[in-house]
Amino acid sequence: MIRVWLTDWEWACCGNAFAVGDEVDFGIQARTPDPSLTELLGQPLAATVDAIESHHEEEFADRVRGRVVAVHAVTHDVEERQSLRRPGHGTPPDAVLPPEGEEWPMVRRELGGGVFAASRPSRFMIESMPVPDTAALEPVRGVRLASAAEDAPPPAVGDPPPERTTRSSAGWLVDVEDR
């Protein structure tokens, strides 16, 4: 059996969903955890990792292929601090701060026929700092499977919440029966 680390941010955008029992083919970036992964997971858990998957930078000749026998979601504590966004601090330096109570201007692109795509930055910036030695494993059915949490509405805009510690997803440890 080979234990493979999958990073949450990489799989959030473009990794394909899979479940225990599925066949997988992972491109392997490295066979030993780097210091940042060891810091995130802690030394004892990092020592169980046999390979680190990646699929964004390049095609990797080193591969892990086989059947998934277990998946563990890895979470850790994160200290969150929110502050009011100011020009030059998360927005372009020449941005004009909107009047109190108003939102940042919407950036929109006309698509034609009265349809447009738009985005607006939040009034607040979030700084997240991982808390060392807080990694925990939870057995799950697979990676990127649909969940009710994905359908939750975004938080309301208002005053920033006070500093807080929350649990955050870091990635997955996937146990693969090697072919």
- 3-state SS, one letter per residue, for 114-146: CEEEEECCCCEEEEEEECCCCCEEEEECEECCC
Phi, psi for 38 (deg, rounded to 5): -60, -40
pLDDT digits (tens, 9 = 90+) for 152-178: 555 555 566 678 888 889 999 999 998
Q: How far apart are CA 106 and CA 122, in angstroms?
A: 10
- Amino acid present at 89: H
Cα first-last separation, the chain = 9
pTM above 0.75, yes or no: no
Q: How far apart are CA 179 and CA 74, in angstroms?
A: 25
Phi, psi for 150 (deg, rounded to 5): -70, -20
Mean pLDDT, range 69-88, rounded to an integer: 84
pLDDT digits (tens, 9 = 90+) for 59-77: 888 999 999 999 999 999 9
Tell me the three state secondary structure of residue 45: helix
Structural domain boundaries in the chain: 2-80+129-146+155-178, 86-119
More confident residue, 11 or 44: 44
